């Protein structure tokens, strides 16, 4: 069975600092995808970044990067130069074929 663990229920960061959100996963599959989604207080789910299990380079999307360490089964999200608008819940998810398994999320608060 697949499992995602996010060990940080909440994080508080000063504006403009970088922040790392932790995500570890467990799977016996060789081919899988790792995703990060943002859920602001308005409730919608916003896709941020994707990493394939066979991708050799870490994924980047603007201020977001994914620190993928396959041997350690971790897929941490790094947000550079945090902004007030980054305050939200962040979910790590793992998928193979049609099914996504989500972690419990980390609530990120950016302080001015």
Partner 1 sequence: NAGVTQTPKFRILKIGQSMTLQCTQDMNHNYMYWYRQDPGMGLKLIYYSVGAGITDKGEVPNGYNVSRSTTEDFPLRLELAAPSQTSVYFCASSYSRLAQNNEQFFGPGTRLTVL
Q: Which residues bind partner 1 (CB under 8 A)?
A: 4, 31-33, 35, 43-45, 47, 50, 52-53, 91, 93, 95-105
For residue 47, the minimal CB distance to partner 1 (Å) is: 4
Cα–Cα distance for residue pair 111/62, rounded to 1 Å: 21
Can you tell me which residue has the tokens 């945090």? 82
Q: Decide the pairing of beta strands 88-96 and 99-102.
A: antiparallel
Instruction: Name which of 14 and 60 has its Cβ closer to partner 1.
Output: 60
Chain center to CA of 100? 13
Instruction: Name which of 50 and 64 has its Cβ closer to partner 1.
Output: 50
For residue 19, the minimal CB distance to partner 1 (Å) is: 19
């Amino acid at each position: 069975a697949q499992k995602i663990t996010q060990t940080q229920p909440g994080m508080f960061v000063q504006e403009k600092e970088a922040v790392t959100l932790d995500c570890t996963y467990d799977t016996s599959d060789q081919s899988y995808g790792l995703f990060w989604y943002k859920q602001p207080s308005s409730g919608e789910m916003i896709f941020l970044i994707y990493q394939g299990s066979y991708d050799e380079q870490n994924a980047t999307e603007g201020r977001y990067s994914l620190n993928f360490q396959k041997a350690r089964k971790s897929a941490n999200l790094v947000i550079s130069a945090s902004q007030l608008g980054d305050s939200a819940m962040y979910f790590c998810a793992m998928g193979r074929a049609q099914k996504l398994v989500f972690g419990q999320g980390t609530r990120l608060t950016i302080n001015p």
